[in-house]
Amino acid sequence: YQRASIAQSHPSLEAVMFKLFSVLLFISSVSGFSGPKAFTKIAKQQYDRRSVIESTISSAILVLGSNPAPSIAAYIDPNTDLPVVTKRVYLDVQIGDKEPGRLVIGLFGELMPKTVENFEQLCSSNSYAGTTFYRVLSDFTIQGGAIGDSSGKTGKSAFGSPFEPDNFRLMHTKKGLVSMVRDRSGGVDSRFFINCNDDGGWADDKFAAFGIVEEGMDYVKKIEKVSVSPPK
């Protein structure tokens, strides 16, 4: 098996630290801040691969200045009208014994206030500790965050039960978008996925995008190619 170890977040970073699950990524703190570090052990499984990867996650949330809310139409194309990023999450990802890579995720707090609040609370409370990236499909999606269920069938929201996402207006026409997974009732919990290509129309009207990977998509591609074991 290939193992992914996690490097500690930068000692000069601060803000709300949180543990975020992920197949082979661990989240680190925000640049320019300092504070406690939180790490989480991670194991990920990919349906079409053979090895298991472990990694640790910690992260930080940076609240930006207030911005005017974007105009909202029935649908929003992120290629022409990307929503305002109100907060950012930094993830430092390490594969095997290689140097960690950083993923920076911008969160659309004005467009998706409740969905972003759920994600933030789960991270700041370290609720993602021990969760897995239970599905990794090259050139398609990386999916994880199933609190309490390593198989990925269920999760747990910060509010205690699944809830309806704010809306489904943002189209999945841009790689790097981060969206919530829905349960059988249609609600969302703790599970999310990263869109790995620009043609994610299959997710429109079904899954709510609430953020985007602003930096580190090159590292996401590396994550997609790591061999992991199929589900049992």
Q: What is the pLDDT of residues 22-51, one digit of tens each?
A: 333 333 333 333 333 333 333 333 333 333
Question: ∠ CA(198), CA(219), CA(2), 5° rounding?
Answer: 125
Region 60-86 average pLDDT: 65
| 3-state SS assignment for residue 117 | helix
Q: Are 136 and 51 in contact (CB under 8 A)?
A: no
Please state, in angstroms and rounded to a whole number, the distance separating the CA atoms of residues 60 and 13. Answer: 8
Please state, in angstroms and rounded to a whole number, the distance separating the CA atoms of residues 227 and 1. Answer: 9
| Dihedral sign computed on CA atoms, order 82, 89, 23, 130 | negative
Region 167-177 average pLDDT: 95
pLDDT recorded at residue 208: 95
pLDDT single digits (tens) 95-114: 778 887 787 889 999 999 99
Structural domains of the chain in order of their starting residue, each with its CATH number: 16-224 (2.40.100.10)
Residue with tokens 């290689």: 98
Greater confidence (64 vs 137) lies with: 137
CB atoms within 10 A of CB 76: 21
Q: Which residues pair with 195 in a beta bridge?
A: 141
Region 175-199 average pLDDT: 93
pLDDT tier for residue 158 given thresholds of 50, 70 and 90: very high
Q: Assess whether pLDDT exceeds 80 at residue 196.
A: yes
Sheet holding 132-133, edge to edge: 53-56, 41-44, 132-133
DSSP symbol at 34: B
Please state whether beta strands 87-93 and 101-107 pair in parallel, antiparallel, or not at all (unpaired).
antiparallel
Per the rule left: phi > 0, alpha: psi between -120 and 50, beta: everything else, 205 is left
Kindly state the helix (H) or strand (E) to which residue 114 belongs, with its residue range. helix 113-124
DSSP symbol at 6: -
pTM exceeds 0.85, yes or no: no
Averaged pLDDT score across all residues of the chain:
71
Q: Are 91 and 28 in contact (CB under 8 A)?
A: yes
CB hemisphere CA count around 200 (13 angstroms): 30
pLDDT recorded at residue 10: 35
Please report the beta strands in the chain, taking only residues with DSSP state E, as ranges in sequence order. Answer: 16-18, 41-44, 53-56, 59-63, 87-93, 101-107, 132-133, 135-137, 141-144, 177-182, 188-195, 209-215
